[in-house]
Chains A and B, each alone.
Chain A
Amino acid sequence: MAVKMDKAATRELITRRAEQEIESGFYVNLGIGMPTMVANYIQPEKDVVLQSENGLLGIGRSPYEDEVDPDLINAGKETVTAAPGAAYCDSAESFAMIRGEHLDLAILGGMEVAENGDLANWMIPGKMIKGMGGAMDIVHGSKKVVIIMDHVNKHGDPKILKACKLPLTGKGVVDRIITDRAVMDVTEAGLVLVEIVEGWSVEEIKASTEAELIISDELLEISQ
């Protein structure tokens, strides 16, 4: 039985599941768009430092109107505050933190992911190329890279493929994929289906995934 959800509910399902990747004590980079929303669900008991690659280690909540500082933004160019204990740095230092593998986790969006962990999320040939921003650096720096995205594209075609068709952002960089239907891990043996969203069958997940899926012996169900 396929599950029909509106866009907002889908995003909430994915971001709430992504939040579970964050452990207390982690330094985390959240990508622009849906990944940024994960911050809204971080459990208050977790001690987490969010890194913004434009030079802020310790992103706080959005400012109240009277707190807005035009010199203080996140990488999505939104006005933010600095969390207590935050530190500012320049862009070279910020990417030294990233490239030097000091971040525990990066949660980013994706257009396509291949079963070997290749990621494409920055350009579509023939369309205007906006640029990769920091994505190509971030995928190589974090100890764990989690991609969150819809399981299929707007035409219903798989986004999890045997090999990416779009130009890559990084080769073999993805550790885990979280979608509105399932959670999959990139392993040396191949792509392993580890969790499935309530209401979906393994056969339905296989049918909407081009990549070969290994079904985990300990397959979990995510309740909605």
Chain B
Amino acid sequence: MKHMYTSCHEAVKEIHDHSTIMVGGFGLVGIPENLILALVESNVKHLTVISNNCGVDDWGLGLLLKHKQIDKMIGSYVGENKEFERQVLAGELEVELTPQGTLAEKIRAGGAGIPAFYTPAGVGTPIADGKEVRNFDGTDYLLQEGLTADVSLVRALKGDRHGNLIYNKTARNFNPMMAAAGAVTIAEVEELAEPGELPADGIHTPGIYVQGLIEGKQEKRIERYTVSTHA
């Protein structure tokens, strides 16, 4: 049985000043929004955050930025956030941009005990600077190192007390790899289930990767509301 937190505030006590954390989500989809809100209130500082994006100005990881809790951000696309731009230009925030597929694989590798791997993405570009290039069968590849975190915050649709998780649609994104790559992984779930209630054959993240859970109701903000009109 996993630790069942009684509040998000209790859950984020695992995170301290100078911690490296991974935060699931793509855009605002699949982010552990209540854990992020609690982290803002905890006021821990000097965080290194690994996440594909950095939220928007007033939601998601953008809130951590606003309160100057992040020292370094590792992600693939940070263009939705004006405060991000201000802090980078002012030298207050360090950024390490990583191609999205490389970022996903670095996290997967980290959780899977693989220290580094070769990928073609980024060869001949600025992100190759300082990295080992090796040729296999006539093609150049970059050496990229795996990533791990002190704490991973993930979001799932369903979770049981063994820590087994099921995600919803495109809210899965980076969450499964991050669950495996965190020394401590905390899952914010929409619905908590008892062991046996979730189909064993349909689990996305086996419970071994998850240390604690908290149930949370999400607001699920939409970045680009796009609809078809009935003909």
Q: Is A21 among interface residues, defined by CB-CB distance under 8 A?
A: no
Q: How far is the CA of A138 from the CA of B99 in the complex (A)?
A: 10
Whether A99 pairs with B224 at a CB distance below 8 angstroms is: no
Determine whether A71 belongs to the interface, using a CB cutoff of 8 Å to chain B: yes
Binds A, one of B40-48, B76-84, B191-199: B76-84
- Closest-by-CB residue of A relative to B111 is A92
A135 to B177, CA, bound (A): 21
Q: Is the CB of A92 within 8 A of B99?
A: no
Tell me whether B125 and A169 are in contact (CB under 8 A). Answer: yes
Contact yes or no, A130 B78, CB < 8 A: yes
Contact pick for B107, options A82, A92, A123, A137, CB 8 Å: A92
User: Which listed residue, B102, B121, B170, B226, touches A54 by the CB 8 Å rule?
Assistant: B170
Query: Across the two chains, which residue of chain B brings its CB closest to A127?
Result: B85
Pairwise interchain contact A137-B100, C-beta atoms closer than 8 A: yes
Q: How many Å lie between the Cα of A212 and that of B125 in the bound state? A: 24
Which residues in B have their C-beta under 8 angstroms from that of A169? Answer: 125
Contact of A133 among B100, B169, B174, B221 (CB under 8 A): B100
Inter-chain contacts of B174 with A (CB < 8 A) = 90-91
Q: Write out the residue numbers on chain B whose beta carbons fall within 8 Å of the beta carbon of A77.
A: 26-29, 80, 223-224
Looking across the interface, which residue of chain A has its beta carbon closest to that of B157?
Answer: A71
Q: Are B228 and A64 in contact (CB under 8 A)?
A: yes
A72-B169 contact, Cβ under 8 Å, with A128-B85, A131-B79: yes
Q: How far is the CA of A70 from the CA of B120 in the complex (A)?
A: 33
Number of interface residues of A (CB under 8 A): 54
Q: B168's closest neighbor in chain A, by CB? A: A71
- The residues in A between 67 and 88 inclusive whose CB is less than 8 angstroms from any CB of B are 68-73, 75-80, 82, 88
- Asked if B121 and A131 make an inter-chain contact with CB atoms under 8 angstroms apart, the answer reads no
Measured CB to CB, the closest approach of chain A to B100, in angstroms, equals: 4
| A136, B226: Cα distance in complex, Å | 26
Cross-chain contact B77 with A132 (CB below 8 angstroms): yes
Query: What's the minimum C-beta distance from A164 to chain B, rounded to whole angstroms?
Result: 10
A138 to B120, CA, bound (A): 10
Determine whether B138 belongs to the interface, using a CB cutoff of 8 Å to chain A.
no
Bound form: Cα–Cα A88–B29 in Å: 14
Known: A64-B227, A65-B227, A91-B104. A99 touches B79 (CB 8 A): no
Q: Are A92 and B79 in contact (CB under 8 A)?
A: no
Tell whether, in the assembled complex, residue A55 and residue B225 are in contact, meaning their CB atoms are under 8 Å apart. Answer: no
Is A129 an interface residue, CB under 8 A from the partner? Answer: yes
- The answer to whether B170 and A73 touch across the interface, beta carbons within 8 angstroms, is yes
Within 8 A of A (CB), among B66-97: 75-80, 85, 88-89, 95, 97
Does B176 touch A at the CB level, under 8 Å?
yes
List residues of chain B with CB within 8 A of the CB of A88: 169-170, 172
A96 contacts which chain B residues (CB < 8 A)?
105
Q: How far is the CA of A70 from the CA of B60 in the complex (A)?
A: 14
In B165-221, the 8 Å CB interface with A consists of: 167-177, 204, 220-221
A56–B171 Cα distance when bound, in Å, is: 10
Within 8 A of B (CB), among A133-155: 133-138, 140-141
Contact A133 B77 (CB under 8 A): yes
CB <8 Å contact, A133 and B228: no
A63 to B227, CA, bound (A): 5
A132/B224 in contact, CB under 8 A: no
- Chain A contacts of B103 at CB under 8 A? 91
The smallest C-beta distance from A2 to any residue of chain B, in angstroms, reads 34
Digitize B1-30: 1 where CB-to-A-CB distance is under 8 Å, 0 elsewhere: 000000000000000000000000011111
9 contacts between A and B (CB under 8 A): A53-B101, A55-B172, A78-B226, A92-B108, A99-B120, A132-B99, A136-B101, A136-B125, A168-B126
Interface residues, chain B, with chain A CB atoms under 8 Å away: 26-30, 52, 75-80, 85, 88-89, 95, 97, 99-105, 107-108, 119-127, 157, 167-177, 204, 220-230
